[in-house]
Amino acid sequence: MTTTRIAVRAGHPRAHVDLAVGALAPRLVGRTSGTAHVALSAAGMLLLGGDLVHVEVDVGPDCTLELEDVGGMVAYRAPRSASQLTLVARVGSGGTLLWRALPLVVAAGARVERRTQIDLDQGGCAVIRETIVLGREGETAGSLTSHISITDPDGPVLNEDLDVDGSFPEPGILGSARVLDAVVAVGFRPDLQPGAMLLDQPGAVARHLGDLMHESPMDDVWATWSEIAKSSAVPPVATAVPLTAGGLSSPRGVDSVRSVE
**Nearest CA-CA partner of 30 in 15, 12, 11, 10:** 15
Confidence of residue 139 (pLDDT cuts 50, 70, 90): confident
Residue 235, pLDDT score: 41
Residue 259, pLDDT score: 53
Residue, of 66 and 172, whose pLDDT is higher: 66
**Nearest CA-CA partner of 190 in 92, 64, 96:** 96
- Alpha-carbon distance of 127 to 107, in angstroms, equals 27
Confidence of residue 91 (pLDDT cuts 50, 70, 90): very high
Tell me if 67 sits within 8 A of 35, measured CB to CB: no
Confidence of residue 1 (pLDDT cuts 50, 70, 90): low
- Alpha-carbon distance of 126 to 202, in angstroms, equals 11
pLDDT in tens, 53-73: 999 999 999 999 999 988 788
Cβ burial of 86 (10 Å; 0-12, 13-18, 19+) is middle
Residue 250, pLDDT score: 33
Residue, of 4 and 250, whose pLDDT is higher: 4
Residue, of 249 and 120, whose pLDDT is higher: 120
Amino acid at 201: Q
pTM: 0.84
Residue 170, pLDDT score: 58
Confidence of residue 179 (pLDDT cuts 50, 70, 90): confident
238-to-59, 173, 181 alpha-carbon distances in Å = 17, 41, 29
- Alpha-carbon distance of 119 to 131, in angstroms, equals 21
Give every CB contact of residue 99 below 8 A, 6+ residues apart in sequence.
57, 66, 67, 68, 89, 126, 127, 128, 129
Is the predicted pLDDT of residue 256 greater than 60, yes or no? no
Domain boundaries, the chain: 3-241
Cα dihedral sign for 9, 184, 150, 131? negative
The residue-averaged pLDDT of 193-214 equals: 87
Residue 233, pLDDT score: 53
Supply the mean pLDDT for the chain. 84
- Alpha-carbon distance of 58 to 17, in angstroms, equals 10
Confidence of residue 214 (pLDDT cuts 50, 70, 90): confident
Tell me if 95 sits within 8 A of 57, measured CB to CB: no
Residue, of 135 and 12, whose pLDDT is higher: 12
Give every CB contact of residue 182 below 8 A, 6+ residues apart in sequence.
129, 130, 131, 205, 206, 207, 208, 218
